[in-house]
Amino acid sequence: MDHAAVLALYDREMREGARPDGPGARIERAGGVVRQVADELGWNGVLWSGLDAAGADRAVREQIAYFTGLGRDFEWKLYAHDAPADLGARLLAAGFRAEPAETLMIAETAALALGTPPPAGVRLVAATDPAGIELAVRVHEKAFGTDGAPLRHRLLARLAADRGTVVAVVALAGAEPVGAARLELVPGTPFAGLWGGGTVESWRGRGVYRALVAHRARVAAAHGCRYLQVDASAMSRPVLERLGFHPLGSTTPWCYEN
């Protein structure tokens, strides 16, 4: 893989040329910034920016004023290669708070080993209705310790309006949900995203996460997606590297709360 070429393609297709991530969301281009605007439970934030040192502080102030005027908390999704080089420090000075950095990882779907099965006693099932979505949300809350309401809202909305662009899957041990994840397809681009992969603590280290990655990779391959993208946590990165994903840089969510 040509890392520089794929990273440039990712920036162009998935950030600067972003599509809304669900019904009711919209993409806006304001000067040197591309942002998504959604409702209170959707994702609101800056996806891409093309700024220089002279105009960066003004652009940051403008985004704060815009989202504050809407009454929205929002996120500035900053990548390590974004300019200016001190944009993170500027966001900090403007009142943003940094979440843990993640690694942008991309793999060519055709190069991945897709035969990884789930561990013994676990089966993977598609979450295609409200009951299935509730199982996925339960895993999310247990695995990450966060409120699952925004995820529930977004998945139900996507299944109702754009069923073909999101694939949610749950790992069940008997009737107990022990892992969950989703694949987001982006029609018109060569990319698909792996999101929300989580395993409840008592099942970690047994291969549930690897099986969820392989399952979603098979689905992406069947849809003709050339590349799979993940924003990987420190816990997920070693597993993904062993599966064939390449680290292309880092990304930090900078959050601004009204």
Kindly report, residue by residue over 165-211, the tens digit of the pLDDT. 899 999 999 999 999 999 999 999 999 999 999 999 999 999 999 99
Contact 171, 178 (CB under 8 A): yes
Q: What is the DSSP string of 207-230?
A: SHHHHHHHHHHHHHHHTT--EEEE
Distances in Å between the alpha carbon of 38 and those of 25, 177, 202, 237? 4, 29, 35, 29
Q: Which of 24, 258, 253 is nearest to 157 (CA)?
A: 24
pTM for this model (two decimals): 0.93
pLDDT tens-digit readout, 236-246: 999 999 999 99
**According to DSSP H, which parts of the chain are helical?**
3-10, 56-70, 87-93, 130-144, 149-161, 208-222, 237-243
| pLDDT surpasses 80 at 162 | no
> CB neighbours (10 Å) of residue 40?
11
Residue 35 in this model has a pLDDT that exceeds 90: yes
* Distance from the Cα of residue 117 to its chain's centroid: 24
Q: In Å, how far are 7, 105, 120, 161, 177 from 154, measured between CA atoms?
A: 27, 24, 31, 11, 20
pLDDT of the residue at 163? 75
Quickly tell me which residue has 């055709």 as its tokens: 110
| Segment 25-32 mean pLDDT | 95
* Residue 115 confidence class, pLDDT cut points 50, 70, 90: confident
CB 133 within 8 A of CB 127: yes
